[in-house]
Amino acid sequence: MSLTHLNSLQASIFSSLAIVSLLLTFVMLGSHWLRNYVYAFAVQSWLIAALSAAVGYFSGYPELYVIAALTALFRGLVLPYLLMRIVDRLHVKREIHAVLQPSSGLVVGAFLVMFAFVIANHMTRQTTSAAHVVVLALTIMLSMKFIGFLMLSVRDEAVSQILGLLVLENGIFLGSQILVPGMPLLIEIVILFDLLIVVACFGILVRYLVVHAGTTSSRQLNRLVG
Amino acid sequence: MILSNILLQIGQVLCVLLLAPLLQGFILKAEERVQRSRGPSILQPYRDLWKFFHKQSVVPESASWIYFIAPFVSFTAMLMVPLLIPVLTDRPLPLSNMGDLLGGGMVLTLGSFAIILAGLDTGNAYGGIGSSRTAMLAILAEPTLILVFVGISFLAKSMLPFVVNHLLLGSASAYWSPAHLFLILAFFALLLVETDRLPIHSSTHFEIYMIDEARILEYSGPLFALLKWASMMKQFILYTIFCNVFLLPWGMSQLGTPFGQLGSIASLLLKFLLIALTVVVVETVQSRLRFYRYQEPLAAAFLFAVLAIVSSQLL
């Protein structure tokens, strides 16, 4: 694995990109506004694209440049554009009935990061400087997954649920870029198109929801009808 | 010629005592200038203090001895903290290891606790509101403060402010480590809360949402002047900790020559200019939060402190 010979400059570039992506996840967790979620997701995707390019440059995987370009194009432009279209058409600007207020969400998120760190620390037992980057990547990957799950479970609006799924996926992608940079190109492309289809399907489902239930909040679906 | 340590320590206290109203005056002036009005003179807080010290004191009938000692307790507390922190010199002074950051925090909180008691003492409705609001804010801010201190002690293996300052001066990698940057963010949020600034405190005092002003509504004359001065000194002390211990540890006299002290004062004023302008920007772009959203900036600060601790374990 390429991680065994990282110098301190590379380690600091990787870790700062990963940490800023984690902060953007917290922007999503701590905001009321759907528009902010989409912006944060777009910026996060660009950061992950930069991370792929940096990994490709420093450890000599030219195919990672292609992946970086595809990530920036699809996750950074196409998906946010599609989501923004959904948000604009629904006339829903913010989460109204949050189960977890943004401030409590931030505190729960902080505890999830600690939990992720404990797990990551147990998984790696080396003490070289590369091991720090591994622990950091694992921590951030796990915490983004946990926060994605948290968003899926406490948010009601359909758009925030899509974004929870996308954050979860971004976390896995970020971790895989640092931990196993030589993943085959084909798999990455398949995942990207998968995401595109997920968002398109969700768009159709949300419109169906509006037509038949008259709302975009999944809370209304819990009620028994008929 | 090198000044003796005792002179330096007295100089630190005098510096905080005499320059605190200037900082307040500058922030008020800058806020007005941003809104394109002229604003009061920078020296206005000095004139206000002078005026209050020459006024008669009116005491409510319901006031007990707590009412009279609270201003002195809080003023004395603010005079003690500059002994513990690097204001003018980053040479460890003889009394500076009397208390670490936790000790300084305790003395600061003691001052604010005395004012809370005084607010409750007179039985005035506004005093009660102010005291209960301040107590709630203190409850929300305290966990973050403790976590910031824990983060510092992970970073520097010590809680003494002089040691933290020397560590940050000495190694650039410690300064730019994510743990330290997160600590700066967390402490900045605390700074805004503790120095009566938006997004929690309202920018105009004496209205229904007042928090800190409500506690001292019953005071007048010299006692009121002492309380105002103490709150300005608290602001100055917190800015000093933020600048000299966290954000900008450079530009302090190392040997303690008189010339070096003048240089330290100049650099301190320059640093405060930067921080005060940042605070003015925050105050201009932010609107005041509703009462039930007070915990949001504090939750963000808590999050930053937790992230700082996690990342200090990583590196």
Which residues in chain A have their CB less than 8 angstroms from residue B306's CB?
110-111, 113-114
Given this model, what pLDDT does residue B1 score? 57
Q: How many residues does chain A have?
A: 226
Q: Nearest-CA residue of chain B relative to A15? A: B178
Q: B225-263, pLDDT tens digit by residue?
A: 999 999 999 999 999 889 888 888 887 777 778 788 888
Q: Which residues contact B232 (CB under 8 A, 6 or more apart)?
A: B20, B21, B23, B24, B45
Which residues in chain A have their CB less than 8 angstroms from residue B175's CB?
none
Given this model, what pLDDT does residue B315 score? 61
Q: Which residues of A touch B (CB under 8 A)?
A: 12, 15-16, 19, 22-23, 26, 30, 102-104, 106-107, 109-111, 113-114, 117, 121, 132, 135-136, 139
Average pLDDT, chain B: 85
Given this model, what pLDDT does residue B53 score? 92
Given this model, what pLDDT does residue B114 score? 92
Rounded to 10 deg, the angle between the A34-59 and A79-90 helix axes is 180
Given this model, what pLDDT does residue B72 score? 93
Domain range list for chain A? 2-222
Q: Give residue B100's domain range.
A: 5-314
Average pLDDT, chain A: 81
Q: Nearest-CA residue of chain B relative to A114? A: B310
Q: What is the mean pLDDT of residues B56-72?
A: 89
Give the residue with greater pLDDT, B92 vs B215.
B215
How many other C-beta atoms lie within 10 A of the C-beta of residue A133? Answer: 22
Distance CA B241, CA A41 (A): 36
Q: How does residue A1 score in pLDDT terms, banded at 50, 70 and 90?
A: very low
Percent pLDDT > 90 in chain B is: 16
pTM of structure: 0.84
Q: A116-127, pLDDT tens digit by residue?
A: 988 888 887 666
ipTM above 0.90, yes or no: no
- Is residue B16 within 8 A of residue B266, CB to CB? The reply is no
Collapsed DSSP state (helix, strand, coil) of residue B65: helix
What total of structural domains would you count in chain B?
A: 1
Say which range, A6-15, B10-19, B111-120, has the weakest mean pLDDT: A6-15
Q: What is the mean pLDDT of residues B2-19?
A: 84
Distance CA B313, CA B308 (A): 9
- Is residue B19 within 8 A of residue B236, CB to CB? The reply is yes
Given this model, what pLDDT does residue B176 score? 80
Q: A152-206, pLDDT tens digit by residue?
A: 888 877 778 888 888 888 888 888 888 877 777 788 788 888 888 888 888 888 8
